[in-house]
Structure 1
Amino acid sequence: MATQTQQPSKKKTTMMDMSVSIFVVLIMAMIVIPLPATILDFLLIINIALSFTILLLTLFTKSVLEFSSFPTILLITTMFRLGLNISSTRLILTKGDAGQVIDTFANLVAGNNVVVGAVIFLIIFIIQMIVVTSGSSRVSEVSARFTLDAMPGKQMSIDSDLASGLITEDQAKKRRNDLERETQFYGAMDGASKFVKGDATASIIITAVNLIGGILIFSLQNGMGIMEALERFGKLTIGDGLVSQIPSLLISIASGILVTRSGNSKSFGSSLIPELFSTAKVMFLLSGIMLVFALVPGFPFFLFLIVAVGAGTAGYLALQTEKKSFEQAVAEEQAQLSANRVERDRNTNDAIVPHQIDPISIEIGYGLISIADDSKDENIMNHVLIIRKQFAQELGILLGPIRIRDNLQLGSNEYVIKIKGNIQAKSELYMDKELLLMPEGEEVPFKGIAAKEPSFGLDALWIESNDKELADLHGFTVVDPLTVLVTHLKETIRQNSSELLGRQEVKQLLEGLKDRYNVVIDELIPDVLRLGEVQKVLQNLLREQIPITDMVSILETLADYGTTVKETELLTEYVRQALRQTVVQPFLDEDRVLHVVTVHPDLEELIGQSIQKSSAGSIPVLQGDIINHLFDSVKRLTFALETQGIPHVLLVSPKNRPALRNLLAYNFPELAVLSLNEVPNEIAITAEGMVENVN
């Protein structure tokens, strides 16, 4: 059966090969053998039909790989047109007639005025030669260069996906084959586009030969008058040129469309209409602009009005589509939330193998089980989804699923938050009470259980739920148990965000950027830095609460300095300087002024001279009394500023910043240490104090 199925397919392939071979041989024969006018007409019609076919194919093609034979077709159609040019020239110069198609084109365009026809022909030639062909050739050249440059990185990406199990061996083979075909296509198009330019040049030369040769032959040899010969052969020449140039222009346009698709996976029409007319604001603005033009004296009012009404209608339809899309997105999100409530940790359970620890987990006592009840609208799982989105937007990290499980070893009201299996936070909740934050210096007219707000260590009181409204009336801040847990979870994740960013998470971040910024990623990894080195830099940024949302700037900075600098601590400093607007933003006051505490120059010099590097980073090795003096001075200054509610940072020299930050990190984890290079020039600085030198 397999043999019987293969035989018709093989026979069909053989017939197609023979047909194409015969067609190419006939093209060569046309150059030598004279063709009758009727056959020439038929071949000219075939040429026009073939050109329209190629143009329409490029409009409906979704990928260049669907039309990978286009460069070869470009060569064959060019030779076909040149063969037709030679045949038509032979008929014009020998018989003074080139068939009905050429004659009709000449009369249709030129009419009774040869000059008009000549001008139109020259305009078409200029459009093709200078605009379409030149642009297509440049795009083909650039596309070929970038495709070839990106090929090693794409190959490595395929190998990486295969090694990580994201794709199968067959999918990897197909991707490699598609990549090779795409590279060959753009390389071939770079050369094939020269055929079109040469064809246009040959056409203008042949046109001149037809005109001059026809006038000379029929005026000198056949006794025809000069003006009569000019009129007759001028029309024939124009008709012959148009019959040749119009198909050539169509194929040139097809070539330009095909090489400028920018990797779009849709056909030209299906991507053009939504992108051009689907933005309601643009359509309404266009409608308003057209109405303004309609009211200008001298402009055709009704024509502009028709366009304005059309644009307004398109805007209204686009607005309705946007509303439906938004409603559908909301409905899908609600359905997803409902599914999450029903299935809960199903995906996480499937992904976890025996003995694998969770990146983030919450364990609760039996008295808090209701906080994870899927049947309730307000439960911890709904907030977990919001937390993951929030951290993706604010810090730029992708959090995995957060597991919630009960632990009978905990107290009834206790919970613990674990990061990679280690307890990072622990506290108590009372589900039938509310947490009132104690104001400083004021007495609270409520009885309750004294406690500490777990996120920030504030004095608090668990009061009865019935007292909540009264506490609100007195202006006290009251928080429900679920919000207490969610806030504590967020702060714990924020403090440990650097530990949650592993190599796998970094790879996922880069994969999300690769479609738009593959150039910088392919340049950086692995030729300049390894994935682990990029991870260390990102962890250093997160350790000081600097968002990594601007990954493009981070990667570009690493690519700039990574060739000469391999120390991750120094690379981190370069990245911080590139992100200086982001670094300084959280510490500005309402007037965008940065309040700073400086270090005495002599103490700065002493610190700089005592810096030693280790695997844990730079640190100044100072005498005990100097360190105690430094800590006391920093504590005194920061306490005074915090009491006044003034946001502030410690401003030091770029050389000392990493070492001084490492020294102060344990005792002053909330104190931001910035260098002078991390403060933009336009930011005003106010000095609030100085860490004095040791006397």
Structure 2
Amino acid sequence: MNSLKLPLWMSGINGRALAAPLLIVLMLAMMILPLPAFVLDVFFSFNIAIAVIVLLTSLYTVKPLDFMVFPTVLLVSTMLRLSLNVASTRVVLTEGHTGPDAAGKVIEAFGHFLIGGNYAVGIVVFIILTIINFTVVTKGAGRIAEVGARFALDAMPGKQMAIDADLNAGLIAEQEARRRRTEVAQEAEFYGAMDGASKYVRGDAVAGIMVTVINIVGGLIVGMVQHDLDFSSAIKNYTLLAIGDGLVAQIPSLIISTAAGVVVSRVASEQDISGQLIGQLFAKPQVMFITAGIIGGMGIIPGMPHIAFVLLAALLAGAGYLVRKKAEQGSTAAADAQPEAQATAAPELEEATWQDILPVDTLGLEVGYRLIPLVDKTQGGELLRRIKGIRKKFAQEVGFLSPPVHIRDNLELKPSAYRIALKGVEVGAGEAVNGQYLAINPGMVSGSLPGVETTDPAFGLPAVWVDASLREQAQSMGYTVVDAGTVIATHLNHLITTHAAELLGRQEVQQLLDHLAKEMPKMVEDLVPKLLPLSTLQKVLQNLLTEGVHIRDMRTIIETLAEQAMHTQDASELTAQVRVALGRAIVQQIFPGTNELSVMTLDSRLERLLMQAMNTGGAEVAALEPGLADTLTSQTENAARQQEQMGLTPVLLVPAPLRALLSRFLRRALPQLKVLSHAELPETKTIRVTSLVGGQS
């Protein structure tokens, strides 16, 4: 038998892709084509089921983006109700004279249930339901969505900066950063879509009242004029049908509006609505006991329903007792789980040995006792993982593997303080409040925040420690908000990068050569120790790192040293030759993505004076005459400040013989200044001189 084959145009379409177009076409068909009463019953039942599904889904949603399709569901469900109103109106006006079941059993049942034989009461109750939906639920949800959209848009720059900061610090990978950026954009789009979609529900409530009034008035006219019904029969049939039709549409509308309010009003957490209600509303036994006492006291007042109040008070007191008992059992179990401290006899003092001399850690991190959870895996500490990310990112960017960071607690520090040591000497310290967030002011914030004012320990920017509840507000005001672990990790990353030259010891250089020998063994063997001793290679690499030059391109460095080592063994001269060979990489590191290099240069008179001083006294800082040194420092600082105000990196371009001298001399006063020589610039780059140093001297 030949198998049945679908046409080519149908083979690429699945059932899910057809669901939405079929639903839209179906709604349009309901507005145009007449539907029998049974089909209306089916669609009205389907409408109610969809509303209940949406409400339950919103209750079990952990965060708003888990129900990202909700604005579209809101629009489609509204259009479905309006289509059913149009279809039912046609049936009511054409078949209403036959009796209350003309438009189907669903409309008849809802009409009887609400009216109960009294048309005036039915109309009033229907209007009250519609007003509740329109003025309370829908209006409130729309307002929350509007404010949420505004705050989400205002917070986008701060969230993007926080993501970029984590990425630059090596705390997250590029894929994770891309996912977070997408989530931030989706959150803003979601609240914006909810703000617009809520207007459909408000319009649906108004349309429900108008359709009901039109059905009653139009039914009376059609029944009395066309079908010769008396007024009492016409009002009985058409009011029952109109109210039933309006109610069967308004109840799903009220459910959908409630779901919209639940979605936009919840705060993102790891629990759904049910878990939050039980865990937060009924978590304190004191609250339960006090409430039970108040309700019980009201129950004994004469005239009150004693049974209802006393019974409710007893239930609350019982619930409070169970909550307190459960909390006490949890505390007892936690206490039993801790090992009991056993008194041990003090050991006898032993003679001092060489084992008592402990090596100094190259990199050390000491924390106060309140920061221990950040570095304890058993307590969910993330700082260890972030430090691993920092070392990995440092190795990928700089070119060698930094020593491991040894972490220990120090009871001599303040509870929230930390200390970063390099070879046993403190190079950085600060405080990080665990459980709070550091809101860093990048210079463009729109207001102030309540909290403890401080400075960012890594870069010295003004900042303030704020509670977790103010995190979103701080981001919306333009602050860069990070947690305590990120503060320590960023500070550590900054110090490791700054002291990279000191971290490159003899052992690290040998490990680097051993790693390179796997790919280019002959090149490494010919250089060390045949042409250069290991100490000279270490000094050259340290010179490069001191001035912020990465050593990832070890092939170029080794080839250049192998070529120049036959002419000189001086580490400074070899460094200058390596910088020329790495010129393209150095320029790209300072000026990424541009062919125009905006630099400062020396005035010709000052350049001649410096060349004469160097030729007279040698390439040493001490050779500079004090007046000339002061002029050079002050004018370079002014020119560098102008560069930074223009948003440019301060770079000083000088002749090759002066580069090393000026770099060493200006590094202490201007650590951010980069000094380049003409020989290091690629020929393809264009030079734009922005200022002259010494031009006014």
Normalized against structure 1, the TM-score is what? 0.52
Q: Is 1:70 equivalent to 2:75 in the alignment? A: no
The CA distance in 1 between the partners of 2:342 and 2:186, in whole Å, is 43
Closer/same/farther in 2, CA of residues 337 and 218 from structure 1, 3 Å limit: farther
Pick aligned residue for 2:273 from 264, 268, 271: 268
Contact 2:436–2:465 under 8 Å retained in 1: no
Q: Which runs of 5+ in 2 are unaligned?
A: 1-9, 97-101, 344-357, 374-382, 385-408, 447-452, 480-697
Contact 2:163–2:181 under 8 Å retained in 1: yes
Closer/same/farther in 2, CA of residues 236 and 527 from structure 1, 3 Å limit: same
Q: Deviations over 1:76-97 (max 9, x none)?
A: 1111100000001111111102
The answer for the alignment partner of 2:436 in structure 1 is 513
The answer for the alignment partner of 1:36 in structure 2 is 36
- Give the 5 Å matches for 1:534-553: 534-535=455-456
Q: Is 1:221 equivalent to 2:142 in the alignment? A: no
Closer/same/farther in 2, CA of residues 354 and 555 from structure 1, 3 Å limit: farther
Contact 2:51–2:252 under 8 Å retained in 1: yes
Closer/same/farther in 2, CA of residues 209 and 554 from structure 1, 3 Å limit: closer
The CA distance in 1 between the partners of 2:70 and 2:416, in whole Å, is 55
The CA distance in 2 between the partners of 1:239 and 1:153, in whole Å, is 51
Q: Deviations over 1:410-432 (max 9, x none)?
A: xxxxxxxxxxxxxxxxxxxxxxx
- Give the 5 Å matches for 1:93-492: 93-96=93-96, 97-331=102-336, 356-358=362-364, 385=369
Q: Deviations over 1:221-256 (max 9, x none)?
A: 221112221122111111001001000000000100
The CA distance in 2 between the partners of 1:503 and 1:91, in whole Å, is 84
The CA distance in 2 between the partners of 1:42 and 1:554, in whole Å, is 49
The CA distance in 2 between the partners of 1:269 and 1:290, in whole Å, is 25
TM-fit CA distance, 1:150 = 0.7
Pick 1 or 2: higher relative contact order, CA cutoff 8 A, min separation 6. Answer: 2
Q: Deviations over 1:518-547 (max 9, x none)?
A: xxx26x246359xx9814799999xxxxxx
Closer/same/farther in 2, CA of residues 82 and 387 from structure 1, 3 Å limit: closer
Closer/same/farther in 2, CA of residues 17 and 355 from structure 1, 3 Å limit: same
The CA distance in 2 between the partners of 1:311 and 1:132, in whole Å, is 29
Number of positions where the alignment pairs a residue of Structure 1 with one of Structure 2: 407
TM-fit CA distance, 1:333 = 6.1
The CA distance in 1 between the partners of 2:337 and 2:418, in whole Å, is 32
The CA distance in 2 between the partners of 1:168 and 1:113, in whole Å, is 68
The answer for the alignment partner of 1:81 in structure 2 is 81
The CA distance in 1 between the partners of 2:48 and 2:371, in whole Å, is 62
The CA distance in 2 between the partners of 1:223 and 1:196, in whole Å, is 38
Question: What code does the residue aligned with 2:87 have?
Answer: S
Contact 2:366–2:419 under 8 Å retained in 1: no
The CA distance in 2 between the partners of 1:284 and 1:294, in whole Å, is 15
The CA distance in 2 between the partners of 1:505 and 1:66, in whole Å, is 41
The answer for the alignment partner of 1:454 in structure 2 is none
TM-fit CA distance, 1:68 = 0.4
Question: What code does the residue aligned with 2:50 have?
Answer: L
The CA distance in 2 between the partners of 1:84 and 1:13, in whole Å, is 29
Contact 1:503–1:535 under 8 Å retained in 2: no
TM-fit CA distance, 1:192 = 0.5
RMSD: 4.4
Moved more, 179-188 or 126-135: 179-188
Question: What code does the residue aligned with 2:192 have?
Answer: G
Contact 2:419–2:429 under 8 Å retained in 1: no
Q: Deviations over 1:304-357 (max 9, x none)?
A: 11101110111011101221333344456659999xxxxxxxxxxxxx998534
Normalized against structure 2, the TM-score is what? 0.52
The CA distance in 2 between the partners of 1:18 and 1:85, in whole Å, is 25
The answer for the alignment partner of 1:56 in structure 2 is 56
Contact 2:289–2:317 under 8 Å retained in 1: yes
Q: Deviations over 1:237-295 (max 9, x none)?
A: 11001001000000000100011111123111111111111210000111111110111
SS of 2:103's equivalent in the other structure is coil
Residue identity over aligned pairs, in percent, reads 36
Question: What code does the residue aligned with 1:95 have?
Answer: E
The answer for the alignment partner of 1:618 in structure 2 is none
The answer for the alignment partner of 1:380 in structure 2 is none
Q: Deviations over 1:342-399 (max 9, x none)?
A: xxxxxxxxxx9985343559xxxxxxxxxxxxxxxxxxxxxx848979xxxxxxxxx9
The answer for the alignment partner of 2:91 in structure 1 is 91
Question: What code does the residue aligned with 1:72 have?
Answer: T
The CA distance in 1 between the partners of 2:321 and 2:363, in whole Å, is 53
Question: What code does the residue aligned with 2:273 have?
Answer: F
SS of 1:358's equivalent in the other structure is strand
The answer for the alignment partner of 1:636 in structure 2 is none
TM-fit CA distance, 1:176 = 1.8
The answer for the alignment partner of 2:648 in structure 1 is none
The CA distance in 1 between the partners of 2:13 and 2:416, in whole Å, is 64
The CA distance in 1 between the partners of 2:471 and 2:57, in whole Å, is 40
The CA distance in 2 between the partners of 1:513 and 1:268, in whole Å, is 25
Question: What code does the residue aligned with 1:358 have?
Answer: G
Contact 2:420–2:428 under 8 Å retained in 1: no
The answer for the alignment partner of 1:527 in structure 2 is 444
Contact 1:498–1:539 under 8 Å retained in 2: no
Question: What code does the residue aligned with 2:261 have?
Answer: G
Closer/same/farther in 2, CA of residues 555 and 234 from structure 1, 3 Å limit: closer
TM-fit CA distance, 1:19 = 2.0
The CA distance in 1 between the partners of 2:195 and 2:206, in whole Å, is 18
The CA distance in 1 between the partners of 2:338 and 2:460, in whole Å, is 32
The CA distance in 2 between the partners of 1:117 and 1:199, in whole Å, is 20
Closer/same/farther in 2, CA of residues 180 and 106 from structure 1, 3 Å limit: same
- Give the 5 Å matches for 1:681-692: none
